[in-house]
Structures are given as C-alpha cells and as structure tokens.
C-alpha cells in the first residue's frame, strides 16, 4: 500500500514538473514569436523608408 502511495506522490510531482515545463515552453515560444514579428516589422519599415528615399532621389523631390 505504501508503494502505491509513493507512486501516486511521484506521479503528482511529475505532473507538476511537466506543467511547469510546458508553461515555460509556452512563455519562451510567445517571447520568441513576438521578437520575430518585431524584427520582421522593423526590416519592413526600413525597406519602406529606403524605397521612399529612392523615389525622392529619382525625382520625387521635384514635386515639392
């Protein structure tokens, strides 16, 4: 009977460890995802700015 009790206690502890690991993995995933989205938006913004600069250099300044 004591072996069963020990087994159930180990199972509860294992479940808790797996829950903590799963939550940590989710936190890391969402952190990386938001960082990736921020990086993509930053690169897209830089590209948009360069295109705007190129259009001004190509004759957009004459419209002013």
Residue 39 lies in a domain: yes
Mean pLDDT of 40-46: 83
What gap in Å lies between CA 42 and CA 48, rounded to an integer?
Answer: 10
Number of domains in the chain: 1
Residue 28 lies in a domain: yes
Residue 15 lies in a domain: yes
Residue 23 lies in a domain: yes
Residue 62 lies in a domain: no
Q: What is the CA radius of gyration of the chain?
A: 27
For 64, the 3-state DSSP assignment is: coil
**Residue 51 — very low, low, confident or very high, per pLDDT cuts 50/70/90?**
confident
**pTM metric for this prediction:** 0.48
The per-residue pLDDT for 24 is 93
Residue 10 lies in a domain: yes
DSSP 8-state code for residue 62: G
Predicted confidence (pLDDT) per residue in 10-34, tens digit: 888 888 888 999 999 998 888 888 7
Residue 64 lies in a domain: no
List the Cα angle 38/40/44 in 5-degree steps. 115
């Amino acid at each position: 009977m004591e072996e069963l009790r020990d087994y159930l206690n180990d199972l509860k502890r294992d479940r808790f460890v797996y829950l903590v690991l799963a939550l940590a993995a989710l936190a890391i995933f969402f952190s990386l995802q938001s960082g990736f989205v921020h990086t993509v938006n930053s690169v897209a913004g830089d590209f948009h700015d360069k295109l705007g600069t190129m259009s001004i250099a190509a004759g957009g300044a004459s419209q002013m």
